[in-house]
Amino acid sequence: MEFFKIKKDIPFMRHALVFNVVSFITFAAAVFFLFYKGLHLSVEFTGGTVMEVSYSQTADLTKIRSTVSSLGYTDIQVQNFGNSRDVMIRLPAQKGVSSAQQSERVMSALKVDAADVVMRRTEFVGPQVGEELAQDGLKALAFVVLGIMIYLAMRFEWKFAVAAIIANLHDVVIILGFFAFFEWEFSLTVLAAVLAVLGYSVNESVVIFDRIRENFKRYRKMNSHEIIDNAITSTISRTIITHGCTQLMVLSMLMFGGPTLHYFALALTIGICFGIYSSVFVAAAIAMWLGIKREDLVKAVAKKEGYEAVDPNDPNAGATV
Amino acid sequence: MNRYPLWKYITIGVVLLISILYTLPNLYGEAPAVQVSPARSSSKVDTALMGKVEQALKDGGVVPDGIALDGASIKARFKDTDNQLKAKDVLQKALIPDANEANYIVALNLLPRTPAWLQALHAAPMYLGLDLRGGVHFMLQVDMRDVVAKKAEALVNDLRSVLRDKNIRHSGISRDQNNVEIKFREQAILNKAKDVVQEQFQDYLMSESPDGTDFKLTLTPKPQAVLKTQEQALKQNITTLHNRINELGVAEPVIAQQGLERIVVQLPGVQDTAKAKDILGRTATLEMRLVDESTEGRMAESGAAAVPFGSEKFLQRDGRAVIVKKQVIITGESLNDAQTGFDSQTQQPKVDLTVDAKGGRIMRDVSRENLKKRMAIVLFEKGKGEVLTAPTIQAELGNRFQISGAMNVTEANDLALLLRAGSLAAPMEIIEERTIGPSLGADNIEKGFNSVTWGFVVIIGFMCAYYMMFGLFSSLALGINLILLLSVLSMLQATLTLPGVAAMALALGMAIDSNVLINERVREELRHGASPQAAIHAGYERAWATILDSNVTTLIAGLALLAFGSGPVRGFAVVHCLGILTSMFSAVLFSRGLVNLWYGRRPKLKTLSVGTVWKPEEK
């Protein structure tokens, strides 16, 4: 089997401007929704109580809502979770009421209405914990971005590092934009997914950059444009297949993982799809705008990895097409 | 060129064998069990108790599958839950004749069904997190401001009495947050006071400043002293929590310090959060009362007469009765500290007590009037009192006094601990709570398992169809990756949570990346006209640099999550990072081994089974 029977290098870079405009528009839309609608943060970040209760029959959400609000809570959310019998109730963090007795009060009130209600899960997070988690999340993001940039700058060159990070941060913002637009719940696990995707889709850029470096060494007559086109074309089948495989796993989580893993898998799906797009079309284009040259790479590489440049076992060493 | 030396095959074989061995315990599942553990420090769990347990089970007609003494508890396994429940009743009756005087905790538990030969290798299954087995998780925050303020309050009292003893006249001692200020009329007196403080209160820094016409001396606690105070408070709260949770009869509670001022409590299997919270938040009280030394009192003590009016009967730890007057001298609120030490003259262990100023005054009056009489210290918990100790008053007491006498070091430590446990060192607040019902836990296991299995099957199917033989090698490598990951997690005794399972699925999805890279490279080399053997060699060699790069970037993200993540994110990060490391081994070393074994010995190899190698015609 072979999906990719590509005869000539695809001239990706000729359309680089178009791709960059497309990603800029998506990016701008994501930023707009992030500011306009904001992230629907889970209780882990905001503080408050979440309860998951299960009824033996279809739950009457209106009645549950009125029962809970009769206890004196304002700004509560009651919604189905996974199926019509499971209900998720969110209570806001109350200043002054720091005790975690809330869930019991609500539970006993619900039991009065319907004796068959079963508590599946409760979660209470104090406001100060939420703040810390949000801070730690930002710290982790900064750490990942810096770490990856330093590594890429060491391994390749700063232009690649900048290009890869811009391309992949643009993915992160777009994932967040999706979560803002659809009002999906942004929890700690989703944050983990976002960071994992960041590390993962940088891979993609790395693979292409690796090929660009190799091509600079191998095809001395090509210009940067052609070299990048060739690099993307020759790695595209690998890109699609690996991402496809990872996506198969993520899809399986989305289908069988249940509501707890739902948003986790969703964030990964968006991240993987946009990861392909951004590393193929955005990262290389940015690297091109930044003006990567043969001299930048080949010299630096010849010093560090001299063995590769004159690999005696390489049948293609020095070959040109 | 595609041959591994023998030692490499042997290494791979050994790694495989070890990882399979350590993965095995996870497949045996868990057996219902009953666990007997001590409820208090004085009750011992030893072979004698094990004999008792065995006998009790035999008498009760319950046959255990296995019974073992494991550290500080005895665990007996049973065939099914019916036998388990029956055994619990039997043991409860045999070991705890009086529910109010429980020396042991008999709790239901689940024990891994790991066979003995695996146990001998210290192979054990992964520990399931609360979200997979159900239970309660609390995070408690200790109010450290209160601790430090209390300490300053105690210092005010100490200073007052010390300065009075030394006849140093001051014009007022007051507390300003954590600092203490003493005012003096004259500089000379201040200097005298300074010497005293220097000598007796080394944990404080002093600074002088003029205050109108007066002179002011400010004592500020040294940072390390504050830290020590807070540390002690936290430790004490943890100890108190331990004692209280023992009552809940949880098989494997986790009570751990987190950071400088937080305590995490995890109670697997507990569903009654209301009761758990009640017990965690309960305050025990301590009371000091006089022992009723009247003739009636003494008679009642030996059981020869009824307890006289105005007195109560309490038991001591060793079971002896003490008749104590109902009137309370001071309560635990007045007790500032209790520490063990050694008597400077007799070199015997002692417990030093410090009470606040008001308590000190009362103690002085009471002790003066009751010399050579006994005073009992009673600890009330769950509304039930117990006499910790009932020493004889030897001299007039102040706000610092000591209990000494026939005690060894352990007893003195226990007593100090119990005295302190009378009240939590500092108020605590629940700042995070998570309850997961058992049905949800079981659901989560099933869902996690299903996602991993189906994803795995589909990927294998695709790889084999697309890359043929090389796809099969890749799939085998992926399977080995899963086994490696499971065995490492089991060896580390990591706690598996649902995010951990998700990370496992993701790790597998990402691990296949390396194999795709290699297979694509091999195809490409063939497309460029390389011979099959050269293609294998070049494919693996060239893909390696890329694999390393891409794994390092993923690892950076994983480490960031590990460093800054908490709770569910940490569980994810651990599996994620380990998954990346194991995938490097399996995808590169192991799959190359398979390829070498299959193709390496054929010098005249014509074709590779790596799927379609398509070539553009014009080349």
* Tens-digit pLDDT profile for residues B381-434: 656 778 888 888 888 888 788 887 767 787 787 777 777 665 566 777 788 888
Query: With 0-12 CB in 10 A as exposed, 13-18 as middle and 19+ as buried, what is B211?
Result: middle
Q: Which of A195, A206, A248 sits opposite B557 (nearest CB)?
A: A195
CA nearest neighbour of A238 among B514, B551, B532:
B514
Partner-chain contact A122 B458, CB within 8 Å? no
Asked if B549 and A234 come within 8 Å (Cβ–Cβ), the reply is no
Higher pLDDT, B618 or B418: B418
Which residues of B fall within a CB distance of 8 Å from A198?
557
Q: Packing angle between helix A127-155 and helix B532-564, nearest 10 degrees? A: 150
Tokens coding A19: 């791709």
The residue with tokens 């009967």 is B313
The reply to whether residue A124 touches residue B433, judged by beta carbons under 8 angstroms, is: yes
CB B462 within 8 A of CB A241: no
- Which one is predicted more confidently, B238 or A180? A180
* Separation between Cα atoms, residue A249 and residue A252, nearest integer Å: 5
Query: Would the CB atoms of B506 and A196 count as touching at under 8 Å?
Result: yes
Give the tens place of pLDDT for each residue, A291-310: 777 777 665 544 444 444 44
- Contact criterion met (CB below 8 Å) for A209 and A164: yes
Instruction: Work out the minimum CA distance from B610 to partner chain A, whole angstroms.
Output: 9
Q: Is the pLDDT of residue A25 over 70?
A: yes
Q: Could you count the other beta carbons within 10 Å of the beta carbon of residue B224?
A: 9
Q: Are A290 and A161 in contact (CB under 8 A)?
A: no
So what's the pLDDT on residue A312? 46
| Residue B593, token pair as written in the block | 């081994």
Region B109-117: mean pLDDT is 82
Higher pLDDT, B197 or A179: A179
Q: Give the range with max mean pLDDT: A186-195, B8-17, B543-552.
A: B8-17
Mean pLDDT of B271-299: 76
Q: How many residues does chain A have?
A: 321
Whole-angstrom distance, CA of residue B55 vs CA of residue B226? 53
* Residue B249 structure tokens: 């009869």
Q: Domains in chain B, start-ordered, CATH in brackets?
A: 6-23+437-599 (1.20.1640.10), 30-112 (3.30.70.260), 146-222 (3.30.1360), 283-429 (3.30.1360.200)
Task: Please tell me if residue A281 touches chain B, with a CB cutoff of 8 Å.
Answer: no
Minimum mean pLDDT among A86-100, A147-161, B351-365: which range?
A86-100
Which pLDDT score, from 0 to 100, does residue A302 have?
Answer: 45
pLDDT band at B164; cut points 50, 70, 90: confident
The tokens for A199 are 């590390």
Residue B555's closest chain A neighbor by CA? A199
Hey, what amino acid is at B333?
Answer: E
b/e per residue, B569-581, with b = 16+ CB within 10 A? bbbbbbbbbbbbe
From chain B, the residues in CB contact with A245 under 8 A are 459, 462-463, 509, 512-513, 516
Q: Which pLDDT band, with edges at 50, 70 and 90, does B463 fall under?
A: very high
Which of A192, A203, A241 has the CB atom closest to B499's CB atom? A192
Least confident of B10-14, B52-56, B276-280: B276-280
Residue B42 has pLDDT above 70, yes or no: no
Q: Which of A118, A203, A314 sits opposite B553 (nearest CB)?
A: A203
Cα B38 to Cα B45: distance, rounded to the nearest angstrom: 6
Average predicted confidence (pLDDT) for chain B? 83
Percent share of chain A, pLDDT over 90: 12
Contact B564, A145 (CB under 8 A): no
Strands in chain A per DSSP E:
40-41, 48-54, 77-81, 83-92, 118-125, 185-186
Compare all CA atoms of chain A with the CA of B273 and give the residue at the minimum distance: A104
pLDDT tops 90 at residue B82:
no
Range A35-40 average pLDDT: 88
Q: Is the pLDDT of residue B529 over 50?
A: yes
* Closest to B91 measured CA to CA, from B113, B122, B123, B60: B60
What does the pLDDT look like over B597-614, one tens digit per residue?
888 888 777 778 877 777
Say what percent of chain B tops pLDDT 70. 93
| Cβ–Cβ below 8 Å for A136 and B502 | no
Looking at chain A from residue 52 to 71, which residues have their Cβ under 8 Å from any Cβ of chain B?
52, 54
How much is the pTM?
Answer: 0.76
Q: Is the pLDDT of residue B195 over 70?
A: yes
Question: Alpha helix (H) ranges present in B353-427?
Answer: 357-369, 409-421
Q: Is B284 exposed, middle or buried (0-12, 13-18, 19+ CB in 10 A)?
A: middle
Alpha carbons A178 and A156: distance in angstroms, whole number: 32
What is A12-40+130-309's CATH topology?
Multidrug efflux transporter AcrB transmembrane fold (1.20.1640)
C-alpha B343/C-alpha B402 separation (Å) is: 9
| CATH number of the A48-125 domain | 3.30.70.3400
Q: How confident is the model at residue B122 (pLDDT cuts 50, 70, 90)?
A: confident
Give the burial class of A291: count Cβ atoms within 10 A of its Cβ; 0-12 exposed, 13-18 middle, 19 or more buried: exposed
Q: What is the pLDDT of residue A196?
A: 85
Q: Which of B144, B513, B519, B533 to mutate to test the interface with A (most CBs of A within 10 A)?
A: B513
Nearest CA in chain A to B445: A257
Least confident segment among A216-230, B247-261, B438-452, B498-512: B247-261
DSSP per residue over B210-233, as a string? EETTEEEEEEEE-HHHHHHHHHHH
Which residue in A has a C-alpha nearest to residue B574's C-alpha?
Answer: A192
Confidence of residue B194 (pLDDT cuts 50, 70, 90): confident
Instruction: Report domain extents, chain A.
Output: 12-40+130-309, 48-125
**Has residue A161 got a pLDDT over 90?**
no
Q: Kindly report the nearest CA distance between residue A303 and chain B, in angstroms.
A: 16
Position A99 scores a pLDDT of 52
User: Strand (E) positions, B476-549?
Assistant: 495-496
Backbone phi, psi, residue A48, to 5°: 135, -170
Q: Is residue A118 predicted with pLDDT exceeding 90?
A: no
